[in-house]
Amino acid sequence: MTADGRLRIAFLGSGAFGLPTLEALGAVHDVVLAVSQPDRPAGRGRQSTCTPISARVLEDHARTDGLFAETAIIRTDDVNAAAVRDRIADLQADAMVVIAFGQKLGSALLDGRFAVNLHASLLPRWRGAAPINRAMMAGDLETGVSVISLAERMDAGGVHAMRSTPIDPAETAGELHDRLARLGIEPMLEVLERWQSRLVETVTQDEHAATPAAKLSKSEATVDFAAPSSLVRGRIHGLVPWPGCQVDAVSPDGGSQLLRIHRVLEMDESTGVLPGTIGEGGVVGCETGSIRLLEVQVPGGRAMAWEDLQRGRPFPIGTVLRPRSAGTPT
């Protein structure tokens, strides 16, 4: 700890979910080390690309005057290597903050160190890799963030702090991701402040209430309209931006084409048509209730409003939207 009370923080993160908290930590404390995943090929050109966390720190290295100009950086696929432990010790880090890092921290790395993790759910609900998506796809009405201690089992540590928020029916998983990332700033700073004051308290998670949030796969990138409209809407929005939601649109004359659905509006009333059938104004029947198509995309085109698509490449009333089978070419 510095003479003015600033903590020396080792930040372990890879994904963009950690960026708002990293910025906030840099403004209040000294982030002496950032540890992230190695650069990996990305995009159509498969160019070597660093993680959002690495990119942010390196940006300040290039400028020599930002929050992280003096922050050391390690990009490794083995955070438990002795060299990483030695570097954290050499830099005299007081605490470790772990957010969307992507590697399991071993006991040798954690022993004797205060280490906390920001997780995007109200634990013990939705432990695992895709808590935001799974909450939306399950039709949850609220979610939030939890600051927890690191534990041997994934996301099972004691809870230091939580913040909850309603899930907006209009938002996608990508939008909720960004909102929860900002929501996590305050509880993380609060927990670190309490630790400085030696007022650390945790609540043990209820194991009976734990639910898994398995990693998403491309095979899940579709929706079955034979379900209540709330679950149809939650699944579609929960799959955006990745892996996305796509269906086969089968017209009354038997022709079929791929349709990607980006955003819908849930409606309480029934359309009077069978589930998956398009009616007037882009309204689609569900098992109960209905949804209205708001933003869609066809192959080779850009995402656009349903009304705009209908003016150029119309889908006739009576078109049936069917779940797309896993492995079907896109």
pLDDT tens across 177-218, in order? 999 999 999 999 999 999 999 999 999 999 999 999 999 999
**Given this model, what pLDDT does residue 327 score?**
53
CA 26 to chain CA centroid, Å, is 22
Q: Give the start-to-end residue ranges of the domains of the chain.
A: 8-213, 218-323
Quote the tokens at residue 73. Answer: 């950086």
Which residues make beta-bridge pairs with 263?
A: 295
Q: What is the dihedral of CA 9, 14, 18, 20, to 10 degrees?
A: 90
Is the pLDDT confidence value at 220 over 90? yes
- pTM of the predicted protein model: 0.95
Closest CA to 282 of 303, 260, 256, 309: 309
pLDDT, average across residues 14-36: 98
Element of type H or E holding 71 = none
CATH of region 218-323: 3.10.25.10
Model confidence at 329: pLDDT above 60: no
pLDDT band at 91 (very low <50, low <70, confident <90, very high): very high
Give me the pLDDT at residue 152, please.
85
- pLDDT at res. 44: 73
244 by Cβ neighbours in 10 Å (0-12 / 13-18 / 19+) ranks as middle
Which fold does the domain 8-213 belong to in CATH?
Rossmann fold (3.40.50)
- Per residue in 193-223, is it b (16+ CB within 10 Å) or e — as a string? eebbeeeeeeeebeeeebeebeebeeebbbb
| The two domains 8-213 and 218-323 share their CATH topology (first three levels equal) | no
